[in-house]
């Protein structure tokens, strides 16, 4: 999977600047930007503020809050110069995304208090697309970005939103700026960066629909895999994730996670849920490891971390796993993680772990 987040940021900035340059002679301060309460001038400056803030948090590896600074415009800054400010701050975000290591993360509050480079790219593009649309609406101008941009945003940070007839209309609906047939209007919305669950030697990193699509197509999903990876089970689980996403029933916190070693940033396997909890709070866990990573206790460590995280939620009461009778290593993994055998038949053994 190509690390094209920085390229997409640049493309979004170009799309925004091209639209704004068609209206340099208009009074941006005198017109509200679409459905928002800001003027077109304030909204354009807000785009630049977001881009520089995201660049700073990613480049500076902010952990607990935004990097504490603000930018201001010189008095009398005109429309053309404001477009230049957007281009400059966009270039900084694109550079931060291109140069950030794959494991780099920075602070963002929604919803899990951090984002990786693809997440910051997607958030920056989302701000550009949404507010360029607002400005265009306020000025009475047509605007539609290249289709790859809203697709990137939706498959990276809107995993909970079912794809619609096209990505741009779906994005506008998901951000409260448009309508989709058969769907209620959106009045409140948040994007969702991928969830990362820490373990001692690993991190469990949520696989986005974009990464799942790449894995199903034979790619690496944007991860650097240890020798022999990814395993077939991870690709198969990614196909199930994609089906749930396309069906509008995917919940990213009950999706699939890549198991990534802290020491070298390489993925060694996949682990995740077969679906959301049922009415009794039961959900099934499955996992696999690349053959070259087996025998090091990674699966046990990851299963303990994921189980602890899941059972701390109000909607989960019981975890279970079904294992083939002849898969002795996997039986040992669930046993070491605290699961107990509750039944067996010709097809396999069932293990459970409750609160």
Residue 300's domain is classified under what CATH number? 3.40.630.30
Cα separation, 256 vs 251, in Å, equals 10
Indicate if 147 and 218 belong to the same structural domain: no
Residue 137 lies in a domain: yes
pTM passes above 0.85 = yes
Cα separation, 179 vs 13, in Å, equals 25
Indicate if 54 and 123 belong to the same structural domain: yes
Indicate if 157 and 281 belong to the same structural domain: no
CB 112 within 8 A of CB 205: no
At residue 1, the pLDDT reads 47
Q: Does 243 score more than 80 pLDDT?
A: yes
- Return the CATH number at 17: 1.20.120.450
CB 260 within 8 A of CB 205: yes
Residue 104 lies in a domain: yes
Indicate if 101 and 169 belong to the same structural domain: yes
In this prediction, what percent of the chain has a pLDDT beyond 70? 99
Indicate if 90 and 158 belong to the same structural domain: yes
Indicate if 170 and 200 belong to the same structural domain: no
Indicate if 230 and 266 belong to the same structural domain: yes
Indicate if 208 and 151 belong to the same structural domain: no
Residue 254 lies in a domain: yes
At residue 4, the pLDDT reads 63
Residue 141 lies in a domain: yes
Indicate if 91 and 225 belong to the same structural domain: no
> Which residue among 174, 205, 238 closes a domain?
174
DSSP letters, 196-244, are: EEE-SSEEEEEPPHHHHHHHHTTS-TT-EEPTTPSPHHHHHHHHHHHHH
Name the residue range of residue 258's domain. 196-307
Q: What is the pLDDT of residues 311-344, one digit of tens each?
A: 999 999 999 999 999 999 999 999 999 999 999 9
* Number of domains, the chain: 2
């Amino acid at each position: 999977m190509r690390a094209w987040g920085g390229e997409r940021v640049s493309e979004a900035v170009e799309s925004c600047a091209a639209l704004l340059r068609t209206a340099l002679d208009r009074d941006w301060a005198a017109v509200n930007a679409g459905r928002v309460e800001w003027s077109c001038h304030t909204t354009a400056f807000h785009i630049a503020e977001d881009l520089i803030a995201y660049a700073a948090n990613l480049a500076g590896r902010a952990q607990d809050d935004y990097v504490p600074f603000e930018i201001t415009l010189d008095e009398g800054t005109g429309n053309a110069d404001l477009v230049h400010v957007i281009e400059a701050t966009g270039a900084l975000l694109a550079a931060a995304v291109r140069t950030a290591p794959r494991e780099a993360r920075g602070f963002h509050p929604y919803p899990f208090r951090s984002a990786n480079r693809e997440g910051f790219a997607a958030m920056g593009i989302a701000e550009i697309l949404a507010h360029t649309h607002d400005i265009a609406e306020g000025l009475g101008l047509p605007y539609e970005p290249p289709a790859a941009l809203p697709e990137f945003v939706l498959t990276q940070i809107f995993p909970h939103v079912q794809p619609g007839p096209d990505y741009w209309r779906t994005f506008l609906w998901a951000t409260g700026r448009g309508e989709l047939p058969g769907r209620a209007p959106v009045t409140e919305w948040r994007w969702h960066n991928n969830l990362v669950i820490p373990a001692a030697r690993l991190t469990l990193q949520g696989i986005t629909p974009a990464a799942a699509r790449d894995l199903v197509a034979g790619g690496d999903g944007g991860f650097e895999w240890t020798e022999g990876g990814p395993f077939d089970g991870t690709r198969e689980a990614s196909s199930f994730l994609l089906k749930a996403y396309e069906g509008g029933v995917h919940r990213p916190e009950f999706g699939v996670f890549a198991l990534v070693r802290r020491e070298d940033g390489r993925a060694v396997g996949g682990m995740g849920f077969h679906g959301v909890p049922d009415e009794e709070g039961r959900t099934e866990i499955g996992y696999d490891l690349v053959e070259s990573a087996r025998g090091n206790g990674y699966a046990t460590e990851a299963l303990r971390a994921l189980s602890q995280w899941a059972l701390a939620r109000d909607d989960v009461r019981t975890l279970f796993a079904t294992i083939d009778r002849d898969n002795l290593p996997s039986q040992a993994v669930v046993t070491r993680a605290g699961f107990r055998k509750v039944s067996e038949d010709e097809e396999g053994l069932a293990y459970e772990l409750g609160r």
